[in-house]
Chain A
Amino acid sequence: RKEVEQDPGPFNVPEGATVAFNCTYSNSASQSFFWYRQDCRKEPKLLMSVYSSGNEDGRFTAQLNRASQYISLLIRDSKLSDSATYLCVVIFNAGNMLTFGGGTRLMVKP
């Protein structure tokens, strides 16, 4: 079983739609949680951190459920520019190494 699992998609949605991605992680001792965005053939870039209390940044909302070991990302009012791969990322240990899920591909269509 992978340490961080995501539905690979692709999710094909029209502009303006709301889309949600889910992620599960296996290590209950996980310390930190993030969503990264990766455009085709580019490096991953931090989208947002994920906290137990949930957090929102504009159209993006991230939530963490430690009991279920589950992380989510909600994107409202999708834009064409949101088309990318969204990577769920967990830090398990003090080494601060990032453990990535396989990514979920989003394609927003006009």
Chain B
Amino acid sequence: DTGVSQDPRHKITKRGQNVTFRCDPISEHNRLYWYRQTLGQGPEFLTYFQNEAQLEKSRLLSDRFSAERPKGSFSTLEIQRTEQGDSAMYLCASSLISRTSSYGYTFGSGTRLTVV
């Protein structure tokens, strides 16, 4: 598989439950990004990693949101105590960054979360 994989594709959860999504980037990519997209809007940046380091997390929507990339490969995004407003598509992307260039910014198919 040469693309960005996200799991699950769909998640329905009850309000107040915790959910965790997984993203497997393209293997040679060193950067991994999480975005959220609500209906009728463009994707909104949440956080990103370079290898295992989380370099930007101020855009995470609240302290209920957290992300990890423990070994610099796959990443997880967790939402605690879900609310109906968390219903959205959660997109992961990866890219390869060198000192001079950026390559191959690629999105996964997303995880669609519905909070009922």
Chain B contact residues, majority secondary structure:
strand
Chain A contact residues, majority secondary structure:
loop
List the count of A-B residue pairs having beta carbons below 8 Å apart: 46
The docked-state distance in angstroms from the alpha carbon of A44 to that of B97 is 20
Please tell me if the beta carbons of B40 and A96 are within 8 angstroms of each other in the complex.
no
Contact check: which of A42, A46, A102 meets B109 at CB < 8 Å? A42
Please tell me if the beta carbons of A46 and B40 are within 8 angstroms of each other in the complex.
no
Please tell me if the beta carbons of A87 and B42 are within 8 angstroms of each other in the complex.
yes
The interface of chain A, by Cβ under 8 A from chain B, is 4, 8, 41-46, 87, 95-103
Could you name 16 residue pairs across A and B whose Cβ atoms are closer than 8 Å?
A4-B42, A41-B112, A42-B109, A87-B43, A95-B48, A95-B56, A96-B31, A96-B102, A96-B105, A98-B43, A98-B93, A100-B42, A100-B43, A101-B42, A102-B41, A102-B42
